[in-house]
Amino acid sequence: MTSARHSRWIDDWRPEDPQFWADGGRRTARRNLFWSVVAEHFGFSVWVMWSILVVKLGASSGGGPGPAGFSLNTDQQLWLVAVPSGVGAFLRLPYTFAVPVFGGRNWTVFSALLLVVPCGLMMWAVRHPELSFGALLVIAAVAGVGGGNFASSMTNISFFYPEREKGWALGLNAAGGNLGVAVIQKLGATVIAAGTGTALARLGLIYIPLAIAAAVGALLFMDNLREARADYGATASAAKRGHTWIMSFLYIGTFGSFIGYSTAFPALLKNPGLFDRADVALSYGFLGALVGSLARPLGGRLGDRFGGAKVTVAAFGAMTIGGLGAIASIGAKGKILERPSFGLFFASFMLLFLASGIGNGSTYRMIPAIFARRGLAAGGSAETMRRSRKEAAGALGICSAVGAFGGFLVPIIYAESNKAYHTIAPALWVYVGLFFVMALVTWLCYLRGGGPEFIPAPRSAADDMPAHDSSGGEMATREASVDSGRAAALAGERERMSVPLGGRDTGAGVRG
């Protein structure tokens, strides 16, 4: 690979050029992907570390202090896991802009080192049971910096890979990060088994050196791309696209559900008003996050095979079934079955995790393909496609930020439902209704009438606006009306990029 480099900056990056890719481009991209996954993995772990800590911060069965000296009720525990999710979602937008401003390598180093702060604060807080709930909430909120890592990591990697491999690369990057949720919930349960403040603080002693190691690895082995320099116009253009906001809404249902259920699941298992299974929360609470994480690349592959929109609709259908199963498992309070069933409750949540993970992969990989097709429709020149990639990177950041707010909303809805009705059944009914609406939106916008597969006729800049009304109505399609020369050019570009525009890929999956 021939590239002009200075201080780990790459000036010449042409992933769509097969020769460039074979001569070292792929090797460089894989090296950056590896260290991106490492840093993002630890970021996710720090982001959700309070989801396992709260299991030991709850009150005893009599309402007094628990083994760690704290006496938080279920609602307070759910707030402690919700606030870091909300902060992480908010930080994802500035983290997205940080990559083009500072460079992917440079920002990865900084963001990994920043994880030391929430770990250190947590180590101090868990040794002081006299702290007020408000103080604990502020300290937990700092862990949100780990949630921002996802946006910067995905934005950075999206520039390294060609369209034909971008879906799989983004899927691996995301799955590696998502696994951080399962790892810390399992590792944390083992480490804090003793239940004292000293045992809880051990979690920080583990992740502080890991965060430093990730920063050192990024410093030594990652690169910055000149191509990824700030282009606020492209990001602003992405924010004007109807597809960006439709996909953001759908991502709330997939990733938002995954992260929200992952953080709330241990607290729900321990909830005295449900099954009061603290033993299961510590021993098996991590399984949901593990299933959802491993399912994410599968969702991308299924999207390649059957179409992203079809897989997403199926995922929301399965999540609806899982939600109904969870409602039934509660027993009389769920108003479906007479008696509670812990086995059905656990199995229903596993289905929710599996389906949300698959939906994560199928929805997120649709985004680069949607913008690539816009570029093809505009002529497919090198500059047009470069602009499309930058818009896609901006859209990825926007979608990841909006979607992550689901991680804040899910525990809060659980907490308010439990507080008002002494059961989580109303919350689950809300989720089931949302899943149905999201499946309907996916069908209307990306399946009925062909969705984004149709290449629109060339339009003026004034016409290049979202093709739907402000109420989120049907996505307008236009019949292709290009001359034979343009059609041949588009066909050649389509073949080179391997972005399917028809056949069974009626969603927006990218073949990777």
Whether 102 has a pLDDT exceeding 80, the answer reads yes
DSSP assignment of 165-182: HHHHHHHHHHHHHHHHHH
Look at residue 468 in the predicted model and tell me its pLDDT: 38
User: Strand 9-10 relative to strand 5-6: parallel, antiparallel, unpaired?
Assistant: antiparallel
**Phi, psi torsion values for 9, nearest 5 degrees:** -100, 135
Look at residue 394 in the predicted model and tell me its pLDDT: 76
Percentage of the chain modeled with pLDDT above 70 = 81
Longest Cα separation, the chain = 78
503 band by pLDDT with thresholds 50, 70 and 90: very low
Range with lowest mean pLDDT among 285-294, 423-432, 494-503: 494-503
Whether 490 has a pLDDT exceeding 70, the answer reads no
333 band by pLDDT with thresholds 50, 70 and 90: low
* pTM for this entry: 0.74
**How does pLDDT run across 358-380, given as a tens digit for each residue?**
998 888 777 777 787 777 877 77
Compute the distance between CA of residue 511 and CA of residue 33 in angstroms, rounded to an integer. 18
Look at residue 8 in the predicted model and tell me its pLDDT: 83
Q: Match 């729900």 to its residue by tokens.
A: 268
Look at residue 170 in the predicted model and tell me its pLDDT: 78
Most confident of 188-202, 218-232, 264-278: 218-232
Whether 255 has a pLDDT exceeding 70, the answer reads yes
Whether 331 has a pLDDT exceeding 90, the answer reads no
Look at residue 220 in the predicted model and tell me its pLDDT: 94
DSSP assignment of 69-122: S--B-HHHHHHHHHHHHHHHHHHHHHHHHHHHHH-HHHHHHHHHHHTHHHHHHH
Is the separation of the CB atoms in 348 and 329 below 8 Å?
yes
**How does pLDDT run across 220-239, given as a tens digit for each residue?**
999 999 877 656 677 778 88
Domain ranges of the chain: 26-497
pLDDT (mean) for 180-204: 77
CA-atom Rg of the chain in angstroms: 23
**How does pLDDT run across 194-213, given as a tens digit for each residue?**
555 567 888 888 999 999 99
The CATH-assigned architecture of domain 26-497 is Up-down Bundle (1.20)
Most confident of 134-148, 226-240, 406-420: 134-148
